[in-house]
Structure 1
Amino acid sequence: MKNTIRLIASLLLMLSIFPASSEAATNELKVHFIDVGQGEAVLIQAPNGKSMLVDGGPKTAGKAVVSFLKSKGVKKLDYVVATHPDADHIGGLVEVLNSFQVGHFIDSGKVHTTQTYYEILQLVDKKNIPFTVPKELDKIALDPQMIIRVLHVDEHADDTNDASIVLKATYNQVSFLLMADASAEIEEEIRSKYNVQATVLENGHHGSDTSSSAAFISNVKPSVAILSYGKNNAYGHPSSVVEKRLQNVGAKIYRTAVDCNISVTTNGVKHAVIKSCGKSVSPSSTSGKPAAKTPAMQSAPQPKPSPIKQTSFKNCTELRKVYPKGVGKSHPAYQTNMDRDKDGWACER
């Protein structure tokens, strides 16, 4: 009888120490690159069943992100990472924070004066979510079988993009490099200090030519490249130059604007890529043995940038009627007097 009681007590203790936050624990790591339009959001489901969300896309994608997480069995987010405070990365986190219990909130620390960023900080404070600004080389303890390390973060960066938290997640022989909006200059810093070689690369700044330098891609040598961007975006993302660089190193390119949600599943040795638009399964191996050949995938036609519309406006209210997300510094409609936080983006929400 005493032995039975001890056994039950031990089981209860184990359950209290290792609570499952989403799907039941498996030996597989699943990384989902969510189609949020012009933005970025990545769900990491660890082998032990815990979950981490890296960014949440723009505010308009909030409900879609929440729906996607629920469809994957997520009940709690053990970590939420806001790589930097730009609206196309953190806007959807408002809906996420209102919909899920969150264990830890990790932020770049870059101060930003937008209403969206302020709203997120208010929610974190209201819900008493532990808040951390990491340091370079910090580890995120999502799963003891994985190593998730911060390769870059800079709360004092002049530019919000260069404040980006860059993460490398490794599970046995398979690794993921998530670049957020880090520029080529930040890439150079990272590759000069650390091993950046990775199986899967989420390219910086949505495939813009301000990131993904030839030297950096040559060092990463990805088998899979992910470009997260919106159809017919006004910035011309992704750059054809960047796509050519990826093709030159033999990377298989996936695009959220074409392939929708992109999921990479791995047991730590082999990995498979599945896209939600049409059937696409690309199994491969990192064990050194040649992988089974799969049919070559034709490059999808690239969306043409939207034509420039009106370029002169009295105020941000008028500008947003034509450009709901505001405009960047390179856009003809950009005016410095409408960029109150001086971040190179006018009239963002």
Structure 2
Amino acid sequence: MYKSNLVAIFSILTILLLSGCGQEPIETNNKEIDTVEQGEDENSTQAEEEKSTEVEDKSSDSSTQTDEEEMQDSNNNEKVNSLSELKVHYIDVGQADSTLLQFSHDNENYTILIDAGNWNQNNVVNYLNSQSVSQIDIAIGTHPDADHIGQLDKVLNSFEVGEIWLSGNTSSSKTFQRLLKAIDSNGVDYYEPRAGDEFEVGPLEIAVLYPSSISENDNKESISLKLTYNEIQFIFTGDADKSAETTMLNSGFNLQADILQLGHHGSSTSTQSSFLDEVDPSIAIYSAGSDNSYGHPHDEVVNLVQNSNIDLYGTDVHGTIIVSTDGKDYKVLTNKDGTVSPSSTKDTTSGDSSEQQQDTNSNSPETTDSCIDVNSATVEKLQEIIQIGPARAKELIDLRPYSSVDDLSRINGIGLARIEDIKSQGLACIGG
């Protein structure tokens, strides 16, 4: 009896309270109800009811983002805003290659070097000093050619380097041997990246695109990388050729990037149209020497890039090129003003043809009208070089590769005087 009267009194009080409010109860989800019930006073309850009403109003509009999406966008914006400036320096090192990346995160400075110019120069070391570089987190030699690993031994001897990445292909050149010695004497960690590897260096993501294995095919098996700085992507392929590009295309990797460094200094042995279409860059950059004997960049590559409405920059025309980005937008700064156009370097039509032959026949030489590459020319072609007869041509091939014309002194009977004769003729050269 007492219990029944209590229930009746409670029901009457409930009706009076609801009618006094002058409104129906707010329908909302259980989560919001829990929040309301956990309120400590009438004011907090009212605030939560207003919040619930706002949530209902937003959810009724299908074009409005959910709370979760808004939070995700907020997190992404905070990530972008928290990123420091990344500077990518495409260093003017003549007919060679070197790229410096610098950025900072959480009060830590990061430095990455991809290739290090030619063996007979100091321009990479000098440039690093000019940028106040004191330590390098990762130094990368895309392949053993002397115009890519040329100054890596000097870099290791001059700066504190955390890791060095090499393709694993080897060379008998003095340049490569000096590099191995520098790695050992400085105790630098050594790594051979393979396709599918992924790394994070602070906020920078590095994905290895190529190679998955090696077979001493140096240029073709250049280390190829995709670097992502939040929303901005860069691709580097060293001297990888069209067959390597095809492998990357078939790999299933996401190759889209904003900035592409053209393979092999803008040579026609690289940058096939299907690869360019897949990368779909806004900017293309190549590294080449002014009036180089190879005719880099080749006309067909220049035309392909520009006909694709891609802005083209080259170190032979623009000097050192710097791309700076906050992870969302980027800008391009150049040391010189200029416009790349077909035949902006020496026009060497026969050079284009012979390099295309090299794509399908590794024994075909890379030559131009005035240059015979001693690292790839045939026995017959080598004999056009003064002091090189049939026997020496065969020995020359057996002793390949060479890091310089002076290195031909390894051939029996080729002394300093004959080296000077070869240089004076101006026909022999070292391939890029």
- Shorter-chain-normalised TM-score: which range? 0.7 to 0.9
Residue 225 of structure 2: which of 163, 167, 172 is its match?
A: 167
Measured after TM superposition, the shift of residue 166 of structure 1 is 0.2
Contact 1:234 / 1:305 at 8 angstroms: preserved in 2?
Answer: no
- Please tell me the residue identity of whatever aligns with 2:211: V
Contact 2:305 / 2:312 at 8 angstroms: preserved in 1?
Answer: yes
2:163 is the counterpart of 1:104: yes
Contact 1:52 / 1:142 at 8 angstroms: preserved in 2?
Answer: no
Contact 2:317 / 2:340 at 8 angstroms: preserved in 1?
Answer: no
Distance (whole Å) between structure 2 residues aligned to residue 58 and residue 327 of structure 1: 17
2:127 is the counterpart of 1:68: yes
Q: Which residue number corresponds to residue 17 of structure 1?
A: none
TM-score, reference length from structure 2: 0.62
Report matched runs for 1:259-298 at 5 Å.
259-278=318-337
Q: Which residue number corresponds to residue 202 of structure 1?
A: 261
Measured after TM superposition, the shift of residue 138 of structure 1 is 1.3
Measured after TM superposition, the shift of residue 94 of structure 1 is 2.1
Q: Which residue number corresponds to residue 56 of structure 1?
A: 116
Distance (whole Å) between structure 2 residues aligned to residue 172 and residue 248 of structure 1: 29
Q: Which residue number corresponds to residue 92 of structure 2?
A: 35
Contact 1:230 / 1:257 at 8 angstroms: preserved in 2?
Answer: yes
Distance (whole Å) between structure 1 residues aligned to residue 293 and residue 268 of structure 2: 14
Q: Provide the aligned length of Structure 1 versus Structure 2.
A: 292
Distance (whole Å) between structure 2 residues aligned to residue 325 and residue 120 of structure 1: 27
Query: What are the ranges of 5 or more consecutive residues in structure 1 without an aligned counterpart?
Result: 1-24, 281-296, 309-322
Q: Deviations over 1:212-266 (max 9, x none)?
A: 0011111111111111111222211111101111112211111111111010001
Measured after TM superposition, the shift of residue 346 of structure 1 is 8.1
Report matched runs for 1:1-349 at 5 Å.
27-48=84-105, 49-61=109-121, 63-143=122-202, 145-153=203-211, 156-193=214-251, 194-278=253-337, 299=341, 302-304=344-346, 327-329=374-376, 332-333=381-382, 335-342=393-400, 347=405, 349=407
Distance (whole Å) between structure 1 residues aligned to residue 278 and residue 129 of structure 2: 36
- Please tell me the residue identity of whatever aligns with 2:205: I
Distance (whole Å) between structure 2 residues aligned to residue 330 and residue 249 of structure 1: 34
Gap change, CA 1:140 and 1:222, over 3 Å in 2: same
- Please tell me the residue identity of whatever aligns with 2:345: P
Query: What are the ranges of 5 or more consecutive residues in structure 2 without an aligned counterpart?
Result: 1-81, 351-369, 386-392, 408-432
Distance (whole Å) between structure 2 residues aligned to residue 344 and residue 157 of structure 1: 19
Contact 1:326 / 1:346 at 8 angstroms: preserved in 2?
Answer: no
Q: Which residue number corresponds to residue 20 of structure 1?
A: none
Q: Percent same amino acid among aligned pairs?
A: 34
Measured after TM superposition, the shift of residue 96 of structure 1 is 1.2
Determine helix, strand or coil for the equivalent of 2:198.
Answer: coil
Distance (whole Å) between structure 2 residues aligned to residue 85 and residue 240 of structure 1: 27
Contact 1:51 / 1:142 at 8 angstroms: preserved in 2?
Answer: no
More contact order relative to length (CA 8 Å, sep ≥ 6): 1
Contact 2:198 / 2:205 at 8 angstroms: preserved in 1?
Answer: yes
Distance (whole Å) between structure 1 residues aligned to residue 372 and residue 156 of structure 2: 21
Distance (whole Å) between structure 1 residues aligned to residue 247 and residue 406 of structure 2: 29
Q: Which residue number corresponds to residue 14 of structure 1?
A: none
- Please tell me the residue identity of whatever aligns with 1:260: G
Determine helix, strand or coil for the equivalent of 2:199.
Answer: coil
Distance (whole Å) between structure 1 residues aligned to residue 140 and residue 85 of structure 2: 21
Determine helix, strand or coil for the equivalent of 1:234.
Answer: coil
CA radius of gyration, larger in: 2
Determine helix, strand or coil for the equivalent of 2:303.
Answer: helix
Distance (whole Å) between structure 2 residues aligned to residue 204 and residue 252 of structure 1: 16
- Please tell me the residue identity of whatever aligns with 1:303: T
- Please tell me the residue identity of whatever aligns with 1:272: K
Distance (whole Å) between structure 1 residues aligned to residue 373 and residue 196 of structure 2: 34
